[in-house]
Amino acid sequence: MSLFKPLPIFSGAMVQSFMASFKSKSDKRYGHSVAGKWRSVKTKDGTTLLAKIHDVVNPKGLVVLVHGWEGSIHSSYIIRTAKYFLQKGFSVYRLNLRDHGDTHHLNEGIFNGSLLPETYEAVRELVKSSDSKGPVYLAGFSLGGNFVLRMAGRHSLSKAADQIPRLKHCFAFSPALDPKRATIKMDEHPFLRKYFLNSWKSSLVKKANLFPHLYSFHDLDDYQSVMDLTEKMVKEFSHFSSVDEYFDSYTLNELFFKSVRIPTTILTSMDDPVIPWKEFAEIPPSSYLEVVIESKGGHCGFIEDWNRSSYYWKLMEKKMG
C-alpha cells in the first residue's frame, strides 16, 4: 500500500525528479539568508572538505545532509530539507563532497565515488565539534545516499573511538546501489545523459584551470556518454586497474547490507529514471534496515504538493520522534 500520494499533476517521474532539483527564487533567498557558519574539515590524509553548519539553541538533535553527484549543499532538495528541520528545532549541517559546491580548489585530487574514508572522517569530525549533544541523523540523496549507506556500514564495523558519536539513524533516498547499472541507465536517457555529462565536464574544466600542471582535459568533447568519460578518468587518473574494479569499490551488495548494524531507512521509487528499483527488493531482510519502495517519486523527488513538501521528511520524522 503506497503511502506517497502526489498531486496527479506532479505524478510523472521526470516531473518529480525536476521539481526535486529545481532551484526556485525562494530556495536561493533562503540559502543565502539562513544563519550559518562555514567550517572546513581537514582529514588525516590532508583532504579538506567544506561544510555549512546551522546550529540552533537547545536542538532536538543534529541532521547531517549529503548531496548527490554534481549537486552541492546549495541543491534545492538540500536547502528545502535543511529549512524544514531547522524549523522543527534540529541543528543541520550540510557537507560538500570533494569537488562539489565550488570546492575544486581545496584538493589536488579529483573526486570519485570511492572516496568514503575522507567523507566518513569529515562527518565524524563535524559531529564531534558540534555543541549539540543530542542524537545524530545522517541523510543522503542519490550518490550521497550511497555514501550514507557506506558510512552506516563503516560505523557498524568500527571500534567505539572511530564511530560517529551519537549516531541514531541513517536515511538514504534514491541511493545508487549498483553504480555501474545506474550509469548505464543514465546514459540510456538522453536528457539525463546530457545533463550529467555536461555538469561533469564543467567540473573537470574547473579542476584543470586550477591545477594546470596536473590536468589537461582538451579532449572532453570526444566523450559522448557518462560511461565513456568514466572509463577515461579511471584509466588516466585513478589507482583502479579497470572501470569494473572502480565501480565494485562502491557497489552495495548482499554481504554489505548484512554488515549494517545501525537503524537505516532506504527510500526509492519504481519509476526512478536512474536507479533500477528491483535491486532494492533483493536487499536481505534485517532488523536494522527498512526498505521503502514506492510506485512513484522519480529520482530524489517524492514531492507531495505545490509547496514541494517532501514525503521523505515524514519518514525521517517518524524515526526522529
Domain with residue 20: its CATH number is 3.40.50.1820
pLDDT, residue 283, reads 96
> Is residue 177 a contact partner of residue 146, using CB atoms and an 8 Å limit?
yes
Residue 199 lies in a domain: no
Residue 212 CB contacts under 8 Å (≥ 6 apart), including other chains: none
Residue 18 lies in a domain: yes
Residue 209 lies in a domain: no
Residue 135 lies in a domain: yes
Residue 224 lies in a domain: no
Catalytically annotated residue among 130, 142, 269, 310: 142
Residue 190 lies in a domain: no
Q: DSSP letters of 27-86?
A: HHHHHHHS--EEEEEE-TTS-EEEEEEE--SS-S-EEEEE--TT--TTSHHHHHHHHHHH
Q: State the total domains in the chain.
A: 1
**d(Cα 297, Cα 174) in Å, to the nearest integer?**
9
* Residue 142 is a catalytic residue: yes
Q: What is the pTM of this model?
A: 0.96
Residue 60 lies in a domain: yes
pLDDT, residue 8, reads 85
Catalytically annotated residue among 67, 155, 169, 299: 299
Instruction: Name which of 38, 49, 40 is nearest 118 in CA terms.
Output: 49
Residue 193 lies in a domain: no
**d(Cα 233, Cα 164) in Å, to the nearest integer?**
32
- Report phi then psi at 277, rounded to 5: -75, -25
* Residue 272 is a catalytic residue: yes
Instruction: Name which of 119, 139, 108, 112 is nearest 50 in CA terms.
Output: 119
- Residue 53 to residues 56, 73, 95, 158, 214: CA-CA distances in angstroms? 10, 11, 8, 25, 32
At which residue does the C-alpha cell 549543499 appear? 73
Beta-carbon count within 10 A of 211 CB: 16
Full residue range of the structural domain in which residue 285 is found: 8-184+253-320
Q: Mean pLDDT by 10-residue block, N- to C-terminus, for the chain (321 residues)?
A: 80 89 85 91 96 96 97 95 97 98 97 97 96 93 98 97 97 97 95 94 97 94 96 95 97 96 97 94 96 95 92 95 77
Catalytically annotated residue among 99, 178, 271, 272: 272
* Residue 189 is a catalytic residue: no
pLDDT, residue 25, reads 86
Torsion-angle region of residue 46: left (phi > 0), alpha (psi -120 to 50) or beta?
left
